[in-house]
């Protein structure tokens, strides 16, 4: 089962450069992700200014919505489980 991490927008935190320009996260990778509540993992975030940052994050399961999220404080993502067929289509769209 392939996983996609969708960034959750946070209005309360804004990372800015010295010039005052907003820097937004554009991609998140979590190489050691495990669907275990309160599991601690590494979140690698790439920003639109081509910078990278590694955050210590926590995996959370919401019993009310039956959804997994990963919270790195500065950046949070929602975990989307995809079948292998959908994952192949997504890869082809990104590469092609």
* 20-58 confidence digits (pLDDT tens): 677 889 999 999 999 999 999 999 999 988 999 999 999
Where would I find the H helices in 1-96?
84-95
CB-hemisphere CA count at 13 Å for 3? 17
Question: What integer pLDDT is reported at residue 18 of this predicted model?
Answer: 64
Tell me if residue 52 falls in helix, strand or coil: strand
pTM score, whole prediction: 0.75
C-alpha pair distances (Å), 63 with each of 66, 68, 82 = 5, 9, 20
Query: How do the domains of the chain map onto residue ranges?
Result: 2-95
């Amino acid at each position: 089962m392939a996983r996609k991490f969708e960034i959750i927008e946070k209005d309360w935190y804004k990372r800015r450069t010295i010039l005052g320009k907003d820097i937004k996260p554009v991609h998140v990778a979590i190489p050691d992700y495990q669907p275990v509540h309160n599991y601690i993992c590494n979140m690698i975030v790439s920003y639109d200014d081509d910078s990278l940052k590694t955050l210590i994050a926590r995996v959370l399961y919401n019993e009310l919505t039956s959804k997994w999220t990963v919270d790195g404080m500065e950046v949070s993502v929602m975990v989307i489980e995809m079948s292998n067929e959908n994952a192949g289509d997504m890869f082809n769209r990104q590469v092609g």
